[in-house]
Structure 1
């Protein structure tokens, strides 16, 4: 447990106007800043080239505060990765709200794919962590990325109405290709190029017939 002096130092580093927060809120605010700092620091030097000291400096917290919350740099990365996944899924779910099921399949496909691209473009540091830096961490992180990609495949397959094994495989292939393309653009900071994928991607789906599922554009 941190002593009172450590708690005071950690709280002092919070932005002005946040001093009335509870201890739990202080810890949550510090954690958020550390996770964002981890993502932002890696955009400059990558996972391997980002020491804990760089994360601490960017977050504006003490070393004690960092190690109160995380065992290591890898532990911090794993938490930041989960935050990146949370932000992406939250963005997609926000765009596919209650009215989503009442829309035409065409509108739902456009909204889902657009929401995916917008979620990545809206959080470029976390997107880079999620798509690029994960490969430098190890097999467990890569396995988690694969699991989350399959979650998106299931969302795509559901919207496309993929009923057969062949259609589900086509959806997996589409998501894998999309993942490769967005990763390349995130890696070089090309957010405009990321957003520009939307039109040709939708055009590809329009021309696909029933390759991905029972998709009828214009329904």
Structure 2
């Protein structure tokens, strides 16, 4: 069990030895999770603070000790979800022996997040639009962070095959934008087939974008212009 999961667990009833900081951390983790789940299930527009506090098993007072309103809670939950995903993405990629293996492990991670946390994924990918410009600004910041990950992978490939041409301007932005759209389609229609098709397409997009060439499954990991 991770530290996040421990903090998300309900606090023991009655007297306990937890510090004030531990109590607040537990409440915050549960509120962030509850916010994403509630937004993903009922939509941001109709969301009430009471729905969040009920799911998190905390009082309204505890909620307002952490957030100013439901928008603040959603934005912070959005950031927390994205930061956790990016951290895991970087971790699994760093353990890969080759850029193509990194793409494969990353897509497997992606499938896990979509299938294990469908409500949170729906809130993160779709409901963020309900916040207007503030939500779009947050989404844009997340996409820039993913673009940086794309750039790292592209430079890694070119260290292995210096003959590859440089990645063209805006390729990273196009690949990431298309990836988000494919993910959004999978969240709207979360069938196993749709999720599998989306993640395969995202994998192909990243490989083609980073190498400027198509990739055939089972081909040699050696990267050249001739492919």
Normalised-by-shorter TM-score class: 0.7 to 0.9
| Aligned residues: CA RMSD | 2.9
1:8 equivalent in structure 2: none
Q: Using a 3 Å threshold, how does the CA distance of structure 1 residues 208 and 58 change in structure 2: closer, same or farther?
A: closer
Deviates more, 1:130-139 or 1:112-121: 112-121
* Distance in 1 separating the partners of 2:186 and 2:29: 26
Deviates more, 1:15-24 or 1:38-47: 15-24
**2:110 aligned with 1:80:** no
2:64 equivalent in structure 1: 67
Alignment of 1:15-26 (within 5 A): 15-16=12-13, 19-26=16-23
Deviates more, 1:190-199 or 1:50-59: 190-199
2:141 to 147, 151, 155: 147
When the two structures are superposed, what TM-score results if normalisation uses the length of structure 2? 0.75
2:121 equivalent in structure 1: 127
* Distance in 1 separating the partners of 2:116 and 2:192: 9
1:91-126 deviations in Å (ceiling 9; x for gaps): 2122123x43xx223223323344344344443233
* Distance in 1 separating the partners of 2:119 and 2:191: 12
* Distance in 1 separating the partners of 2:25 and 2:171: 41
1:93 equivalent in structure 2: 90
Deviates more, 1:21-30 or 1:36-45: 36-45
When the two structures are superposed, what TM-score results if normalisation uses the length of structure 1? 0.78
Give ranges in structure 2 of 5+ residues lacking alignment: 1-9, 159-164, 223-227
